[in-house]
A and B are shown apart, each in its own frame.
Chain A
């Protein structure tokens, strides 16, 4: 829009018009945040209680079905929350043409990290 100097002020303000969408992303952002909050408390308390216990104890803890379930939920909620959060940050500060590639890369990164975490959880849980 840098060479839109002859465009009327209203035309510039209108831009490409309303997306007639946005509540969906806003709402999901909140739902994932609400889901993440108790899981974060659980993880913090669990790690605190198992600090300095060593490999065997940690793996035994991770093998418990409750742990596997909650850790899976946590990873899913966490990386959704991160993806939504970083998307807003990137949209706020990146205004050049690299914005879209950066957004895509960020989301793929979140997906990859989340899946890696889930695979690790399952591998421990199934004892492979």
Chain B
């Protein structure tokens, strides 16, 4: 089946997950146990089951999967509405990040039915039964659906995502032609939700050194900015077997981007830049 845009939901599912044991290769502290079941409130009319990853750092216990019977007639259409409904009516301890509820802040990124997306722009109607909700894949978890993004933001800081210029500071704005400005389209819109980096197998195995698609997209955004004067230094910092070239063009990033940005294309272009300056 051909997927045309990243928000397309596959109509058929051959495999919901890879055929590996649930706790395959997982360290002792990360093993997931069965949790408890929260029944639907009395009088619920349209019930859907949600399996949600839970982790309470104060309990001293391992993560678990809790099952919630959600009354879809009593909550909004999006996954975020379900989470808020659970927190308000069933289990106030459920913890997650959210802010804008319209896909521009990137806070509520999580793994929904096996792929990363924003909870606020994912329709409940598109989910399997039972629906499964995990935090972003391959992250150290602070609590429940809240991942620790410290390392990813440190990697973002590493590429110095700001204008670096050597010319004296001009009296007025730094000008850019409409064509030069158009170079930034498809790059600047990233909201740093890290759906892509969290869905990238190469970042799973080498995330300590590989920068991942989100950060590489931002690196590209500054490499192609006509006002920036540190292109050479930026390329020096990127040209590395792990930082940049650990990308194996798997393209899970492009498939999962909630903003529909083409990370794969951007990274492929950067990979060729060091060749251009050599030959």
A residues near B, CB below 8 A? 1, 8-10, 12-15, 18-23, 25-27, 88, 91-93
Flag B267-279 by CB within 8 Å of A: 1 or 0 each. Answer: 0000100110010
Flag B245-276 by CB within 8 Å of A: 1 or 0 each. Answer: 11010000000000000000000000100110
Q: Does B243 contact A (CB under 8 A)?
A: yes
Main SS at interface, chain B: helix
Known contacts: A19-B241, A23-B245, A92-B205. The answer to whether A13 contacts B154 by CB under 8 A is: yes
Q: Does B22 contact A (CB under 8 A)?
A: no
Residue contact B151 to A13, C-beta cutoff 8 Å: yes
Known: A12-B154, A18-B237, A20-B239. 7 other contacts (CB 8 A): A9-B150, A9-B153, A9-B154, A10-B157, A12-B208, A21-B240, A23-B274
A19 nearest CB neighbor, chain B only: B240
Shortest distance in angstroms between B133's beta carbon and chain A's nearest beta carbon?
27
Flag B79-98 by CB within 8 Å of A: 1 or 0 each. Answer: 00000000000000000000
Q: Does B44 contact A (CB under 8 A)?
A: no
The residue from A14, A23, A26, A93 contacting B158, defined by CB atoms under 8 A apart: A14
Shortest distance in angstroms between B233's beta carbon and chain A's nearest beta carbon?
10
Shortest distance in angstroms between A84's beta carbon and chain B's nearest beta carbon?
11
Residue contact A18 to B240, C-beta cutoff 8 Å: yes
B273 nearest CB neighbor, chain A only: A23
Residues of A within 8 A of B243 (CB): 18, 22
Residue contact A22 to B239, C-beta cutoff 8 Å: yes
Residues of A within 8 A of B151 (CB): 9, 12-13
A10 nearest CB neighbor, chain B only: B154
Residues of B within 8 A of A1 (CB): 208
Q: Does B202 contact A (CB under 8 A)?
A: yes
A-B pair number, CB within 8 angstroms: 64
In angstroms, Cα B274 to Cα A55, docked, is 50
Residue contact A13 to B275, C-beta cutoff 8 Å: no
Residues of B within 8 A of A9 (CB): 150-151, 153-154
Residues of B within 8 A of A10 (CB): 154, 157-158
A14 nearest CB neighbor, chain B only: B158
Shortest distance in angstroms between B276's beta carbon and chain A's nearest beta carbon?
10
Residues of A within 8 A of B157 (CB): 10, 13
A-B contact pairs, 9 of them (CB 8 A): A1-B208, A10-B154, A15-B209, A19-B239, A20-B240, A22-B274, A26-B245, A88-B248, A92-B205
In angstroms, Cα B46 to Cα A39, docked, is 62
Shortest distance in angstroms between B214's beta carbon and chain A's nearest beta carbon?
13
Residue contact A25 to B245, C-beta cutoff 8 Å: yes
B204 nearest CB neighbor, chain A only: A92
Residues of A within 8 A of B107 (CB): none
The residue from B237, B244, B275 contacting A27, defined by CB atoms under 8 A apart: B275
In angstroms, Cα B141 to Cα A40, docked, is 48
Residue contact B274 to A13, C-beta cutoff 8 Å: no
Known contacts: A10-B158, A13-B155, A92-B206. The answer to whether A22 contacts B244 by CB under 8 A is: yes
